[in-house]
Amino acid sequence: MPLQSDRIIGHDLERLAFRFTMTGEGETVQCQISDAAMDELAGMQGTESSARQAQFLSLRQTIEQIASDLYDEAPRVQGHVVRIFMRHLER
């Protein structure tokens, strides 16, 4: 079941990841993509924290499709966070 766009939470400096949520089947799914994975999708390196939201917005459709696919593959456990790393881009 494909997830739908929801909220942008923002860049997490501690985890070096960008956080966002998606919805599906009446639940909100926490998602995040690592800085390295987002830079790889954008074809660049070392994007500043202040530019992460603009980078996410430019890649949102692709990132959310990957998150939705990973959600469909994962076991259904309440509170599961969909995390996108570099290894998920090598499919």
Give me the pLDDT at residue 80, please. 87
Give me the pLDDT at residue 22, please. 97
Q: Would you write out the chain's pLDDT as a tens digit for each of its 91 residues?
A: 789 999 999 999 999 999 999 998 889 999 999 999 999 999 999 999 999 999 999 999 999 999 999 999 887 778 889 999 999 997 5
Q: Which residues on neighbouring strands pair with residue 23, listed in sequence order?
A: 4, 28
Phi, psi angle pair for 29, to nearest 5°: -110, 125
* 89/84 Cα distance (integer angstroms): 8
Residue at 1: amino acid letter:
M
Give me the pLDDT at residue 91, please. 58
Sheet holding 82-84, edge to edge: 4-12, 17-24, 27-34, 82-84
4-89: which CATH topology? Double Stranded RNA Binding Domain (3.30.160)
Domain boundaries, the chain: 4-89
